[in-house]
Amino acid sequence: MLTSLSIKNYALIDHLHVDFNNGFTIITGETGAGKSILLGGLSLILGKRADLSSLRDKEAKCVIEAHFDVTNYNLKALFEANDIDFETQTIIRREILPSGKSRAFVNDSPANLSSLQALGERLIDIHSQHETLQLVDDDFQFEVIDALAENNNELQDYAIQLSVYKKLKGELKHLLDFRKDAIKEHEYHSFLLNELTQAKLKEGELEVLEEEYEMLSNIETIQEKLTASNQLLSDEQIGVINALTELKTVLKQLANVSNKYEELYNRVNSSLIELDDVFSEVERFQEDLEVNPNRLEEVNAKLATLNNLFQKHAVTDISSLIEIRAQLEEKVSATENVDSDIAKKEAEIKGVKAKLDAVAGAIHTKRTKAVPDLKQQLEHILSSLGMPNAQFDIKLSLDETYYKNGKEALSFLFSANKGGDFKTLKKAASGGELSRIMLAIKSILTRYINLPTIMFDEIDTGVSGEISNKMAEIMSQMSTTMQVFSITHLPQIAAKGHTHYKVYKEDVNNITTTNLIQLNHDERIVEIAQMLGGIDLSNSALAHAKELLN
């Protein structure tokens, strides 16, 4: 409920602060006194866009602050979803700066307009004769029926199943689209994969092949050089080994003379041992060396294959080709398995669809049972509100489409006159009739769900005295379970309020200012008497006012 409202520097309001109670609150005032300004300020709290022209003093900021008791509103999840600190005593503040910028805060946490609007919808419902579009909206009509049908649990279950169903349908579409595109590319991908598979790629293979190619393509030169090396090492006349052997023999004789000659001898001996090993290695290389034109052709072909693959796939190493091969294997495999995946997904969808249909069927059954009760209650209330011939024709029919709240098409038709044709509310009801229908619906809803604070803005315009009494009784009854405001010009309604506020204008230093005050019992008598008979009070008007209040 709205517990207090503070407005500074807004339109004709300089500074206004008022505390509100639960129950039925009346707001009255002469035409032009500023009731619409009060609603305008409250609308900013509910997320309406700010207008710089609404600043009273263009050099100062406008501040509007409202306090709400949300203890019984079950709004914690909504606060968390909008990243706002939850407090049972919630404070919403809106500021309009002289620069034109607007700021909003909920419990001192900055909030954007969308969060403010989402929260505002759960806090206050402002309803006027010119704001009945909600009544002709299918979603609202379903909400009314579902409230009587007590479909809350079923609708939550339906929403969960619908979310899963839509997710699976999206995944199926992705698979179908993938298959459609993949079929076109499958042959090409398979060809590329086959090329890479036949190449029998191995990490590090390129370096080995390149070295082998150099060996095989230069076999004659290698052979020639190894033969020359063999001769230089082993030839009897000029061979290095023979020469070193003779040198070793000579130094052997000197080794016994002095240690320094022995050291020289040992060095020569070590060199001879090393050269013997080199000679053995050269001989082994000669033995292993084989002219193999077939192998050279194989290596050359493999290198050509690799270079072609490098060029085709725009890479420079075998590791990249192996990675591309893995990707192609995945694509080809996915394409080959997509039919199986589609079949599995369709089976999942079939199972969820069965659950969705079952819940939708349960919702439809409960709605169908609730419709006659809603029709009877509406027609009964409207009869007491001066519409004795009002009739509703409400029909529900199961559809094949999954809507956000079920699988039904709703026909919510109305006729205000006996024998008249049934038409949609928008076509069949006048503005005053729509207001009374909305009042009837809201009064019915209070018996089934917790509604937020509701503010009726002059919905009694054009209503006669007796009907206004009934409207006042309905609003008063609603206020036993919720906070109800009524901005009214009718004394019959004003007298039914538990608390009465008056909006008035006054001129201070040649500046007009709008104010709001709470009236005591005697002041209420005067206000209601003036509503009855004008500003010049008569004894009969005062007596009538007292009678209404009592």
Could you write out the DSSP letters of every residue in 394-422? EEEEEEEEEETTEEEEEEEEEESSTTPPP
Q: Distance between CA 396 and CA 141 in Å, rounded?
A: 11
The first and second tokens of residue 201, run together, are: 């790629």
What pLDDT, on the 0 to 100 scale, is given for residue 413? Answer: 93
The first and second tokens of residue 349, run together, are: 């969808």
CB 532 within 8 A of CB 549: no
Q: Distance between CA 154 and CA 160 in Å, rounded?
A: 10
What pLDDT, on the 0 to 100 scale, is given for residue 349? Answer: 95
Residue ranges of alpha helices (H) inside 128-258 are: 138-149, 152-198, 205-217, 219-234, 240-255
- Assign residue 495 a region: left if phi > 0, alpha if psi is -120 to 50, beta otherwise? alpha
Q: 56: which residues sit within 8 A by CB, 6+ positions away?
A: 9, 10, 11, 12, 13, 14, 62
Residue range 1-123+452-519 forms a domain whose CATH class is alpha beta
CB count, 10 Å around CB of 206? 20
CB 86 within 8 A of CB 79: yes
Q: Distance between CA 259 and CA 317 in Å, rounded?
A: 59
What are 484-517's pLDDT values in tens digits? 999 998 999 999 999 999 999 988 788 889 999 9
Q: Distance between CA 529 and CA 440 in Å, rounded?
A: 28
> CA dihedral defined by 500, 506, 512, 513, rounded to 10 degrees?
-40
CB count, 10 Å around CB of 115? 20
Q: Distance between CA 546 and CA 550 in Å, rounded?
A: 6
> CA dihedral defined by 91, 92, 98, 100, rounded to 10 degrees?
160
What is each CA distance from 373 to 153, 166, 393, 428, 475, in whole angstroms? Answer: 20, 34, 12, 22, 21
> CA dihedral defined by 537, 538, 543, 547, rounded to 10 degrees?
-50
What is each CA distance from 459 to 38, 148, 462, in whole angstroms? Answer: 17, 25, 9
Closest to 402 (Cα-Cα) out of 159, 156, 143 = 159
Sort strands 484-487 and 453-457 into parallel, antiparallel or unpaired: parallel
pLDDT along the chain (550 residues), means of 10: 94 92 92 82 89 86 94 88 90 92 92 91 81 76 94 94 95 87 71 79 78 72 78 74 79 79 85 85 75 73 82 84 83 74 93 95 96 95 92 92 93 88 86 86 88 87 82 93 92 94 88 92 93 82 90
What pLDDT, on the 0 to 100 scale, is given for residue 340? Answer: 86
CB 37 within 8 A of CB 14: no
Closest to 201 (Cα-Cα) out of 310, 111, 278 = 310
Q: Distance between CA 244 and CA 269 in Å, rounded?
A: 8
The domain locations on the chain are 1-123+452-519, 180-336
Q: Distance between CA 84 and CA 115 in Å, rounded?
A: 9
Q: Distance between CA 380 and CA 436 in Å, rounded?
A: 12
Closest to 142 (Cα-Cα) out of 332, 407, 328 = 407
* Cα 360–Cα 361–Cα 366 angle in degrees, nearest 5: 100
What pLDDT, on the 0 to 100 scale, is given for residue 60? Answer: 92
DSSP 444: H
Residue 300 parent element (H or E): helix 293-313
Q: Distance between CA 513 and CA 506 in Å, rounded?
A: 5
What pLDDT, on the 0 to 100 scale, is given for residue 132? Answer: 62
The first and second tokens of residue 172, run together, are: 């199926």
The answer to whether the pTM exceeds 0.85 is: no
CA 374 to chain centroid: 35
